[in-house]
Chain A
Amino acid sequence: DTGVSQDPRHKITKRGQNVTFRCDPISEHNRLYWYRQTLGQGPEFLTYFQNEAQLEKSRLLSDRFSAERPKGSFSTLEIQRTEQGDSAMYLCASSLVALAGPGGTQYFGPGTRLLVL
């Protein structure tokens, strides 16, 4: 499968625990995005990477959230000291952006559904 993949697909955790999600983008894509989607809403931007550089973070991304893309390929999103309000679907997307061109089409992964008890 050459699409965007995410792991795990589902995660149940207790409040206060740390969780980590992984995203594997389409192999030639240089840009990787993280979004959060709650029930009945559209995806909300969290952060994105161009290769290994984290270029932008939303104000939604509190200090408890950290994301990495160490080698410019897969990415991880960690949430520390989870809260019930963190329960959501976490979506990853990737795109190919040319140096001088416009933003590329974003392709989404299946998401990781997080439930914080």
Chain B
Amino acid sequence: GENVEQHPSTLSVQEGDSAVIKCTYSDSASNYFPWYKQELGKRPQLIIDIRSNVGEKKDQRIAVTLNKTAKHFSLHITETQPEDSAVYFCAAMAGRRALTFGSGTRLQVQP
């Protein structure tokens, strides 16, 4: 089955700096890669996703890049703000099946 690895497990940045979180996946059939943000005690919320026919997608301060050859994808957050502090999960889906999640990255933005 699919295996998703996520790094780093914790990330601390200064407000205004950029943050990058990286994930690798094992199943070459995976074709959908969402990123979720989860604040303490709350539900995971989708922040951005990308499908395998696209190499990069951007939404304001958030961008995701995908390298299918290397089987890795990354989340980039620019101009970080304290409200970006949360746990971020990457995930991968092959076909129309369920998501396989990474283990999460705890991002702390220092004001």
Q: State whether B104 touches A41 (Cβ < 8 A).
A: yes
Would A43 and B96 count as touching, CB distance under 8 A? no
Query: Residue-by-residue, is B78-101 near A (CB-CB < 8 Å gives 1, otherwise 0)?
Result: 000000000001010101111111
- Please, which residues of chain A bring their CB within 8 A of the CB of B102? 42
**Would you call A103 an interface residue if the criterion is a C-beta within 8 Å of the partner chain's C-beta atoms?**
yes
Complex interface bits, A89-112 against B, C-beta within 8 A gives 1, otherwise 0:
001000001000011011111110
With A and B bound together, what is the CA distance between A96 and B40 in angstroms?
27
B residues contacting the other copy or chain, number (CB 8 A) = 26
Q: Is the interface of A mostly helix, strand, loop or mixed?
A: loop
Interface range on chain A (Cβ under 8 Å from partner): 20 to 34
Q: Which residues of A contact B (CB under 8 A)?
A: 4, 33, 35, 40-45, 48, 56, 58, 91, 97, 102-103, 105-111
Residues in A whose Cβ lies below 8 Å from that of B42: 110
Which of B49, B51, B104 neighbours the largest number of chain A CB atoms within 10 Å of its CB? B104
B-to-A contact residues, CB < 8 Å: 4, 6, 31-32, 34, 36, 42-46, 49, 51, 89, 91, 93, 95-104
- B43 close to A43 (CB less than 8 A): no
A33 and B98 within 8 A (CB): yes
Query: When the two chains form their complex, are residues B43 and A106 in contact, meaning their CB atoms are under 8 A apart?
Result: no
The 10 closest A-B pairs by CB, nearest first: A42-B101, A45-B98, A103-B96, A108-B43, A42-B89, A108-B44, A110-B43, A43-B101, A103-B93, A42-B104
Distance between Cα atoms of A63 and B87 in the complex (Å): 32
Residue of B with least CB distance to A3: B43
A45 near B103 with CB under 8 A, answer: no
Contacts of A35 in B (CB 8 A): 98-99
Known: A42-B91, A42-B103. 9 other contacts (CB 8 A): A4-B43, A42-B4, A43-B101, A97-B96, A103-B93, A105-B34, A110-B42, A110-B43, A111-B43
Residue among A40, A44, A102, A107 making CB contact with B51, cutoff 8 Å: A102
Q: Name the one of B31, B34, B100 contacting A106, with C-beta atoms under 8 angstroms.
A: B34
**In this complex, what residue of A is CB-closest to B96?**
A103
